[in-house]
Amino acid sequence: MLGRSTTTPLKDSAGNLKELTMTLARTPALASRLGNDKKLQRQVDRALQSARKALKRVEKKNNHRLRNTLIGLGVAGTVTAAAVPLWLRLRGRTRPRTVNAWIEVDVPVSTAYNQWTQFEDFPLFMEGIDHVQQLDPTRLHWAATVAGKQAEWDAKILEQHPDRQISWISEDGKKTRGTVTFADHGPDRTVIALSMSHQAEGPAEAAGSAAGLDKRRIQGDLERFKELIEGRGTETGGWREEISAGKTQ
């Protein structure tokens, strides 16, 4: 999913609230609300910071895993100081890029969180998602149509903390990961911040990312979720398991 040239290394696109407001230019009501509501600014800022930190922890674990693999293959000891920058540049060309978006929904935080945990309902509001099946408490099977191509993969829930955060990462197939955070903004309002990344596959998908289609899709997913939960007024269910480091507590 996401934003600049595929030859550019991953950078944190959330940045600051000014950049976030520019990202939301297509949703004037939200941008206006953000500019005028100081409390909402703080809520959004904290939610996005939490999402960024969660993704950085996932990325750090992946970097350690890659380093250990190189050591196991006997490669690490042969990398010279001159070769390291080249290796990093080549690696950067294929790293995922990240999209950040947020929305305010007019339901209590527990209602928004409970509905989001109904993972098999994701096709109701996530564009391109054809099917989601919960295989066990920490694993989901996804099927999607991306850039006209069908893809399937399994994802693992790494962190799940009721009314606060859900983080996941793909185990095979399409390389994706994401974090959604929930912040209470009053008795009947919730700020939802979604941070997602994936690695573009093929020229069509890469071109879509470069054109900003991923940003619009993610924001659209949140807007459809808002319509879904506000239209119902209540969740269809709730799964409030605590998960840390991929294990149920």
pLDDT at 32: 57
Report, as an integer, the average pLDDT of 66-90. Answer: 41
When pLDDT is cut at 50, 70 and 90, the band that residue 73 belongs to is very low
**Per-residue pLDDT at 148:** 83
pLDDT at 43: 67
| pLDDT score, position 211 | 40
In this prediction, residue 78 carries a pLDDT of 38
Per-residue pLDDT at 168 exceeds 60: yes
How many CA atoms are closer than 13 Å to the CA of 1, on its beta-carbon side? 22
pLDDT of residue 61: 56
The answer on pLDDT for 132 being more than 90 is yes
> Where are the strands (E) in 53-148, listed by range?
97-105, 129-136, 139-146
More confident residue, 87 or 102: 102
pLDDT top residue among 235 and 204: 235
- CATH code for the structural domain at 17-248: 3.30.530.20
Predicted pLDDT of residue 98: 87
**pLDDT interval class at 23 (50, 70, 90):** very low
Angle between helix 28-36 and 38-72 (nearest 10): 110
Is the model's pLDDT at 141 over the cut of 80? yes
Do residues 165 and 193 touch, judged by C-beta distance below 8 A?
A: no
Domain ranges of the chain: 17-248
Average pLDDT score over residue span 130-134: 97
In this structure, are residues 139 and 154 in contact, taking their beta carbons and an 8 Å threshold? yes
What pLDDT, on a 0 to 100 scale, did the predictor assign at position 137?
94
What is residue 37's DSSP assignment? -
pLDDT tens digits, one per residue of 178-221:
999 999 998 899 999 999 886 655 544 454 454 446 788 899 99
| 15 and 48 Cβ atoms separated by less than 8 Å | no
CA 104 vs. chain centroid, Å, equals 17
CA–CA–CA angle 151, 99, 95 (5° rounding):
65
* 109-116 and 213-232 helices, crossing angle to 10°: 120
Residue 228: pLDDT above 60? yes
Q: Is 133 a residue whose pLDDT tops 50? A: yes
Shortest CA distance to 151 belongs to which of 120, 175, 134, 119?
A: 175
Distances (CA, A) of 183 to 84, 108, 109, 111, 189: 41, 10, 7, 12, 9
What proportion of the chain, given as a percentage, has pLDDT over 70?
55
Q: Which residues contact 5 (CB under 8 A, 6 or more apart)?
A: 210
